[in-house]
Amino acid sequence: MAQLDRRLLEILACPACHADVRQEGDRIVCDGCGRRYPIRDGLPIMLVDEAELPVQTHGESTEEGDQS
């Protein structure tokens, strides 16, 4: 498992919510929205389309109408 440069992690931000991110194993995890971005060939793939959404444990709200 490649350890990313800490300075690289510091300048990276989540493209979805612009929060800070951290490395967790072979993924980049957003502290804000919880999205997880893959690391391929030692390079973080900071693309919303490539991100895994966090698992929602609370099924109380159906947030279908995300307005941005």
Contacts with Zn ion by CB under 5 A lie at: 14, 16-17, 19, 30, 32-33
Strands (E) across 18-66 are located at 21-24, 27-30, 36-40, 43-44
C-beta pairs of 23-29 under 8 Å, 24+ apart in sequence: 25/1, 26/1, 26/2, 27/52, 28/4
If the CB atoms of residues 17 and 47 are measured against Zn ion, the closer one turns out to be 17
Which residue of this chain has its Cβ atom nearest to Zn ion in the complex? 14
Instruction: Write down the least CB distance from residue 17 to Zn ion, Å.
Output: 4
Instruction: Write down the least CB distance from residue 48 to Zn ion, Å.
Output: 9
If the CB atoms of residues 8 and 17 are measured against Zn ion, the closer one turns out to be 17
